[in-house]
A and B are shown apart, each in its own frame.
Chain A
Amino acid sequence: MRLTALIAVIGTFCALTCVSAQPTLAPPQMGFVQDSGRSVRPAYGVAGNFVLGPPIAEGVVTHAFSGSLELVKTTSSLAAFNSQGKLLASVNASAGPALFGFSPDGTMALAYLPSSNTLLEWSGSAFVPLSLDLDQLAAGSVLAIAFPSQSEASFIVERNGDIWESALPLGNAGAASEIALPGVHAPLLALPSGDLLYTNSTGIVIQRPDASQVHILASLPASLSLHQMGADWVELMDLKSFARFAIRATAGREAFYRLPESSR
């Protein structure tokens, strides 16, 4: 009976709309990257074929893009942009870099400002300071943050040469917890998927939530930083040259690419 009803419904709607059906086409956007001139630009194309667009923000200290939300920290502000590069909101912020962590769907985010030891949440329309006891983080150096759920913030901290992941509850429920991350090195990046991405002597390591690892052979610069540039993409910045690289973290499609230089 159910099947009979379904066919009837399909037949009716197909007859009405099949002729005019057309898809929408647009340039594929892979994310946003920070160029050597401290500007953030959209990156278009497909894997292995990147084209950079015009800058949406300049004077950038750090940035990250979830696939739908771009967060930018300048010397004195913290700003949010949509995927088209439209400014959504901006607030004053203490000097220095920021660390960003996105919710699994990429629409919510946390921004941690080490210089003032403050945490802000992007709620979808504004940055909201969070009242969180971050003093316990002061004993170490915060390397990355994550936003695994709306009730929890995760801080990856280096303390006495060891890497720890500290989960702090957001709100009244829950308790803080901490686990060691043996074998993990800074610099590193926590992705919304739960992946942890870091480097070693042979290249890049992607540690999946189930603790399995994927190794990408790559010749890496001596001094680098990692930033999320898209839903499954990480930008690797050579801090001593114009060179920028892209790491694809998609399961089964992991790869390492060089990004075009934009300051030329």
Chain B
Amino acid sequence: MITRVLLFACLLPLSALAQLQVFEVTGTTETAVGALLNVGTASPGDTLVTHLRVRNIGSGPVSLSQLSISGEGFTIASAPSLPYVLSPYAGPSSEADIDIDFAPATITGSFSAFLAVNSLSIVLEGTSVESVGVTLAGSTASLAAGSVVNFGSVAVGASQTQGFLLVNSGSSSITVATVTVSGTGFSGPTGLTLPAQIPAGQSVPFQVKFTPQAGTPYQGTLTVDNRTFGLTGQGLDQPLPSASIVFASTIGASAQQNSVSITLASASQVSGNGTLVLTFQPSVAGVTDDAAIQFLSGPLRKATVSIAVGDTTATIGGMSSMPFQTGTTAGTITFTLTLPNSTPTASLTIPPAPISIDTATAVALLGSVNVAFSGFDNTYSASELAFTFYDLKGKPLSQGVIDVNATTTFQQYFSTTQYGGSFQLLAEFPVAGDTSQIGSVTAQITNSLATTTATQIPVGASPTAPVAPLFFKDAAIERR
């Protein structure tokens, strides 16, 4: 087919060719076009645009009256309305620009077409090759080569990451040798190892980041083997809206699960990102931290904050609010939000509190009663314990209150524990008598603020304890 068209072109009279000259325009470079123009390579689904410029190189005006193309895969994408009078060349005003699209169908191989510009005839040649498809993450539509991906408006200093997929929808494996990103403000690809062999039906993700440094438009290029895609973005000097850190509950207390969110003063006109960092300053002397004070999702104390155009609430770690727990140590939890244009902070004070008892159990064993309770002391100052035992009728046993000064024991425990002010206490009381006659126990524990009482803890029978001898009818309790 190419040979036949070439022969036809050669038969045209030279005088008809003399007035007009066709140039191929690549960027700012013009190259005179002869009888044959190879537009290059495209893949099925792609559109390869060739920019042509027609110029009158004669001495008198010429009417451009014929402009046509025939041949599979080629179309005229844009051209001036005909007839179009071209003056003798004296600058851009005496030119006509024509865009030719080469969009091969699914067939792989060579394509050609005949372009007629008045009496000029040019053979266009292009090649179709199989290649991997490129899609945006979350989309199934393949990007045509030459198409442009817009990263949108991004605040200066912030960044916007766009995910892509290399998709092999063919029936055999494809190897992608090179993927490059060029252009100021654009970086990547990340998340991709090259060369990437992509089996039939499989896809491989990668990311490109846009980080404007000025409030100007940005352009870049993504190249996947021999195919290129435009990248654009707009840097915005416009700041993000004022951000506020908001707690679901403003009541500071230990052993709470709270959440933090970030609200914006208005809908954001730009996208941006930052970090939210949690720090803790204990108010307990000698204590440096409480590991339990942490975010409950993602990294322990540092979360990524993202703001999209139109957002009135930032996302934290991908969520509208970030849950956190307040630990078991008195002090101040501070959240610092770092955005490109501001660094707001908010604090939640965890005040010192009386000891909190979470669970309390008492078990009668052969010859002893074990009293256990778990809880926390966010002041790390637990000291006195007091136990009062009762018989099955609720009457206090005659030995009265059993006091224990556990100050040293608690201090030793708190100086080594990695679990904040939480503790599990086990007190074992030898009993001379029938432990089954003990009905309940009241436990008191004191710290620097107050005394906490667990009232009338029922004394249950141990499932594994031996049965008490029958001759011990009465109960007596002591502490060990």
Q: Give the B-binding residues of A (Cβ under 8 A).
A: 2-3, 5-7, 9-14, 16-18, 20-29, 44-51, 104-105, 107, 242-243, 250, 257-261, 264
Contact = CB atoms under 8 A, between A and B. Distances in A.
B464 A44 contact: no
Contact of A45 (B292, B356, B428): B292
B393 to A, nearest CB: 13
A35 to B, nearest CB: 13
Interface in B325-381: 325-328, 356, 358-359, 374-376
A208 to B, nearest CB: 18
B433 interface: yes
Contacts of B300: 260, 264
Most A-side CB within 10 Å, residue of B296, B298, B376? B296
B398 A261 contact: no
B425 A49 contact: no
B474 interface: yes
Given A48-B255, A51-B291, A23 B299 contact: no
A51 B398 contact: no
Contacts of B323: 258
Contacts of B480: 17, 20-22
Given A6-B433, A9-B432, A22 B296 contact: no
Contacts of A12: 432
A243 B322 CA distance: 12
Contacts of A17: 430, 478-480
A46 B374 contact: yes
Given A23-B385, A28-B422, A264-B299, A107 B464 contact: yes
Contacts of B298: 261, 264
Interface in B361-419: 374-376, 385, 397-399, 402, 404, 406, 409-410, 413, 417-419
Nearest to A8: B476
A107 B418 CA distance: 29
Contact of A14 (B256, B399, B413): B399
A22 B325 contact: no
Nearest to A18: B479
Given A28-B423, A44-B419, A51-B420, 14 more contacts: A10-B397, A14-B402, A23-B404, A23-B425, A24-B428, A25-B413, A25-B426, A28-B422, A46-B255, A46-B358, A48-B256, A49-B420, A107-B464, A243-B297
B91 to A, nearest CB: 63
A200 B397 CA distance: 48
Contact of A49 (B254, B464, B474): B254
Interface string B243-265: 00000000000111100000000
B296 A45 contact: no
Contacts of A5: 474
Those 6 A-B pairs whose CB atoms lie nearest each other, nearest first: A105-B463, A21-B479, A28-B374, A28-B424, A13-B478, A25-B413
B477 interface: yes
A23 B427 contact: yes
A22 B410 CA distance: 10
Contact of A22 (B398, B404, B463): B404
B478 A10 contact: yes
Contacts of B432: 9-10, 12-13
A109 B385 CA distance: 37
B478 A25 contact: no
Given A17-B430, A21-B480, A23-B406, A261 B297 contact: yes
Interface string B284-325: 000000011010111110000000000000000000000101
Contacts of A16: 478
16 contacts: A2-B474, A16-B478, A21-B404, A21-B478, A22-B409, A22-B480, A23-B406, A24-B426, A24-B428, A27-B423, A45-B422, A47-B358, A48-B256, A49-B327, A49-B422, A51-B291
Contacts of A261: 296-298
Nearest to A231: B359
B425 A24 contact: yes
Given A6-B398, A13-B476, A48-B325, A25 B433 contact: no
B256 to A, nearest CB: 6
B45 to A, nearest CB: 33
Contacts of B420: 45, 49, 51
Given A46-B255, A46-B358, A260 B294 contact: yes
Contacts of A7: 398-399
